[in-house]
């Protein structure tokens, strides 16, 4: 990735853009930030140097969008404007004046959140480009207020609130709707929405697609984070959460089983059968009838054992009766194993 230089004193050719592509099939979002020609190369399957290029879970931009409740971004506008007054006779003083703002923008850029990264880069680009303009202060102020408006408008809402859509609609009516739509081509399979001066149209586009595709907003039952899914049957937001949930469930089951004697006895008997079946399964072609008999016996054992264990748990049937039955079933497993071995079933293990 290319690193942006917030100490640069000259603007390089080309406009910095924010490009968003949504993959409906895989439910992912792809965001690319960089000079327009480089972004086009990347999205068309080529190589290019950009500031950001990531594929993330669908909805990540909506849930992690930069928020500016305290007006921190806007507080740097007067500093940048005041530095213009020092440009003719006090060049060094000018750059010293904007050093805190440069540091602030670098911090936002290093946050890794694309909405903040784009705003940071565009802020410095706009600052440099307005330097020699007539009415530079007014022009810079207008462009930065437009750029930061999304942080105040959308940052205070959550996507599924009606207030979000209303606030966006009001803001867009104020003239912040400059956006481009790049349609799919052979090497660019997805429609791409491109922001130039404000992220409000991008958010509006995103919310529209969620509604058009009839997706739903959910909260992961494991990590408690918001996510978007195709329907309400999904409980977990990612493969990692599914893995962690499985590990947690296994740990909880093991801890419970340690304090539950019928469960411990059942698991011991189950693995007694299972370990023998695993050996038979590898050599079942040598004695298929005996192998089938063992498998049928194993299936019957599991079915009846589960039923008996439930009786112990629900109506306090004597644990000893259950334990004695399990012990007898181990004898049945040994008997069926012996019949398999007598028929030459373990010859492949020699």
The whole-number pLDDT of residue 138 equals: 93
Give the model's pLDDT for residue 277. Answer: 93
CB contact set of 41 (below 8 Å; sequence gap of 6+):
47, 48
Q: Closest Cα partner for 209 from 222, 191, 221, 195? A: 191
What pLDDT is attached to residue 92? 81
Model pLDDT, residue 157: 62
| Straight-line distance from the first to the last Cα atom of the chain, in angstroms, rounded to the nearest whole number | 59
pLDDT at 111: 95
pLDDT at position 179: 80
> 116-149 burial, b for 16+ CB within 10 Å, e for fewer?
bbbbbbbbbbbbeebbeeeebbeebbebbebbbb
Indicate yes or no: pTM above 0.85: no
The per-residue pLDDT for 26 is 94
Q: How many residues does the chain have?
A: 350
Q: How many Cα atoms occupy the beta-carbon half-sphere of 76 within 13 Å?
A: 20
Give the DSSP letter string of 90-123.
-HHHHHHHTHHHHHHHHHHHTT--HHHHHHHHHH
Q: What is the pLDDT of residues 217-267, one digit of tens each?
A: 999 998 999 999 999 998 899 889 988 888 877 777 666 556 678 888 898
**180 vs 43: CA distance, rounded Å:** 15
Using the structure block, give the residue that is written with the tokens 């969620």. Answer: 210
Q: Which residues of the chain have pLDDT under 50?
A: 348-350
Q: What is the pLDDT of residues 62-87, one digit of tens each?
A: 999 998 888 999 999 999 999 888 76
pLDDT computed for residue 4 by the predictor:
94
Sign of CA dihedral 62, 66, 69, 73: negative
């Amino acid at each position: 990735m290319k690193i942006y230089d917030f100490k640069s004193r000259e603007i390089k050719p080309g406009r910095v853009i924010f490009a968003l592509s949504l993959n409906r099939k895989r439910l992912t979002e792809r965001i690319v930030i960089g000079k327009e020609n480089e972004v086009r190369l990347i999205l068309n399957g080529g190589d290019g140097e950009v500031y950001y290029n990531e594929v993330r879970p669908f909805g990540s931009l909506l849930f992690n969008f930069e928020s500016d409740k305290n007006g921190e971004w806007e507080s740097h506008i007067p500093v940048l404007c005041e530095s213009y007054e020092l440009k003719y006779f006090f060049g060094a003083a000018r750059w010293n004046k904007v050093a805190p703002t440069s540091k602030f923008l670098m911090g936002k850029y290093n946050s890794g959140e694309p909405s903040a990264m784009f705003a940071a880069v565009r802020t410095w680009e706009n600052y440099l480009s307005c330097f020699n303009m007539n009415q530079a202060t007014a022009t810079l102020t207008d462009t930065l207020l437009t750029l930061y408006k999304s942080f105040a408008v959308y940052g205070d809402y959550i996507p599924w609130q009606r207030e979000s859509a209303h606030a966006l609609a009001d803001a867009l009516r104020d003239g912040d709707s400059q956006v481009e739509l790049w349609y799919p081509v052979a090497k660019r399979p997805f429609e791409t929405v491109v922001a130039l001066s404000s992220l409000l149209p991008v958010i509006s586009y995103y919310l529209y697609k969620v509604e058009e595709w009839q997706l739903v907003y959910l909260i992961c039952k494991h990590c408690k984070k918001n996510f978007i899914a195709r329907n309400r049957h999904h409980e977990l937001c990612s493969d990692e959460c599914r893995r962690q949930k499985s590990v947690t469930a296994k740990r909880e089951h093991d801890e419970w089983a340690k304090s539950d004697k019928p469960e411990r006895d059942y698991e011991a008997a189950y693995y007694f059968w299972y370990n023998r079946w695993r050996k038979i399964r590898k050599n079942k072609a040598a004695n298929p009838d005996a192998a089938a008999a063992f498998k049928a016996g194993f299936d019957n054992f599991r079915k009846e054992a589960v039923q008996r264990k439930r009786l112990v748990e629900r109506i306090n049937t004597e644990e000893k009766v259950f334990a004695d039955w399990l012990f007898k079933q181990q004898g049945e497993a040994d008997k069926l194993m012996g019949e398999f071995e007598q028929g030459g079933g373990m010859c492949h293990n020699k």
